[in-house]
């Protein structure tokens, strides 16, 4: 039996989502996504590019706490203006957090409530409109509930599949929603009309629980498979090398 925590299962799910991205900038927000893309770079996807969170491309893979490290390896300069150039050119896969997401993957982290006088002003549009229309996008939800997985998002910051289709083939040809990873399961959009589908449920999570915590009807093919458990080698990399302080377990309680 593996002793992998729920958070660590989410980490390998993120790593799997970035496995085939090749030489692209992997941008992650949140502890689980950050550890996941670093794990991908140390295992199946060594060609991924990452930033140091400021303005440099980091050639080595640092730990989350940034301790016990030698001289950082800088392999490039990526100030914000060049981030925009790069993302508009498409060589990027981002995993963003979502305050709300609907069945077609329309995403909101801008504000909740009436736009003119929001109940809660959140991050704003940030880069979500441009990211989603220009390159691969995935989402991370550490607190899967019907408040996040909603029938209709209050504001569309990230573009979903129905809206992309409505733009026509040419304007939406770089739109590429990959997956949503939550603390309960992994979801993709492998349905004829681009609706969200349960790809796998994390070990210990039932389909019923996911249905109950999701505010829209989700596509489910029979009894969805379980998300894979991290290998011993992956767990060692996460626990000893990337996240020795276990930050991921604070983001997703076991």
What's the DSSP call for residue 242?
Answer: I
We find the least distance from the C-beta atom of residue 90 to other proteins, in angstroms, to be: 10
At its nearest, how many Å lie between other proteins and the CB of residue 147? 18
Q: Check binding of 170 to other proteins (CB under 8 A).
A: yes
- 79 sits near other proteins (criterion: CB under 8 A): yes
Q: Are strands 92-97 and 25-28 parallel, antiparallel or unpaired?
A: parallel
31 binding other proteins? (CB under 8 A): no
- For β-strands 136-141 and 176-182, DSSP reports them as parallel
Select from 143-151, 160-168, 185-193, 246-254 the region that touches other proteins (CB under 8 A).
160-168
Q: Does 71 bind other proteins (CB under 8 A)?
A: no
Question: Which of 164, 177, 210, 238 is close enough to bind other proteins by CB under 8 A?
Answer: 164
From the list 62-70, 116-124, 136-144, 208-216, the region that binds other proteins by CB under 8 A is 116-124
Return the range that interacts with other proteins (CB under 8 A); candidates 17-25, 30-38, 76-84, 232-240.
76-84
Which position among 126, 228, 239, 241 is part of the footprint of other proteins (CB under 8 A)? 126
Q: Does 32 bind other proteins (CB under 8 A)?
A: no
Query: Which residue pairs from 48-53 have beta carbons closer than 8 angstroms and sit at least 24 positions apart in sequence?
Result: 48/18, 48/21, 48/22, 48/23, 48/24, 49/23, 49/24, 49/25, 49/75, 49/76, 50/25, 50/26, 51/25, 51/27, 51/78, 51/83
Among 124, 203, 225, 253, binds other proteins (CB under 8 A): 124
Binding map of other proteins across residues 195-234, x = CB under 8 A, - = no contact = ----------------------------------------
Q: How many residues bind other proteins (CB under 8 A)?
A: 45
- Please give, one letter per residue, the 3-state secondary structure of 35-89: HHHHHHHHCCCCCCECECCCCEEECCCCCCCCCCCCCCCEEEECCHHHHHHHHHH
Work out the burial of residue 191: count CB atoms within 10 Å of its CB; fewer than 13 is exposed, 13-18 middle, 19 or more buried.
middle
Binding site for other proteins (CB under 8 A): 54-56, 79-81, 84, 87-88, 110-111, 115-130, 132-134, 155-159, 163-164, 166-168, 170-172, 174-175
């Amino acid at each position: 039996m593996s002793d992998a925590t729920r958070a660590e299962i989410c980490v390998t799910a993120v790593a799997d989502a970035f496995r085939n991205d090749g030489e692209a900038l992997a941008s992650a927000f949140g502890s689980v996504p950050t550890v996941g893309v670093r794990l991908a770079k140390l295992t199946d996807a060594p060609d991924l590019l990452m930033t140091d969170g400021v303005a440099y491309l980091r050639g080595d893979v640092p730990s989350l706490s940034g301790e016990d490290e030698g001289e950082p390896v800088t392999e490039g300069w990526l100030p914000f203006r060049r981030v925009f150039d790069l993302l508009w050119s498409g060589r990027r896969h981002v995993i963003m957090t979502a305050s709300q997401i609907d069945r077609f993957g329309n995403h909101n982290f801008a504000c909740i409530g009436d736009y003119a006088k929001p109940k809660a002003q959140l991050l704003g549009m940030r880069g979500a409109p441009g990211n989603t229309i220009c390159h691969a996008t995935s989402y991370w939800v550490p607190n899967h509930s019907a408040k996040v997985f909603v029938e209709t998002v209050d504001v569309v910051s990230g573009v979903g599949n129905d809206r992309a289709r409505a733009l026509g083939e040419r304007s939406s040809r770089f739109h590429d929603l990959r997956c949503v990873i939550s603390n309960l399961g992994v979801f993709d959009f492998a349905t004829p009309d681009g609706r969200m589908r349960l790809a796998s449920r994390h070990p210990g999570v039932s389909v019923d629980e996911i249905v109950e915590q999701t505010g829209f009807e989700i596509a489910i093919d029979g009894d969805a498979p379980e998300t894979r458990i991290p290998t011993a080698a992956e767990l060692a990399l996460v626990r000893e090398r990337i996240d020795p302080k276990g930050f991921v377990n604070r983001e997703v309680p076991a």
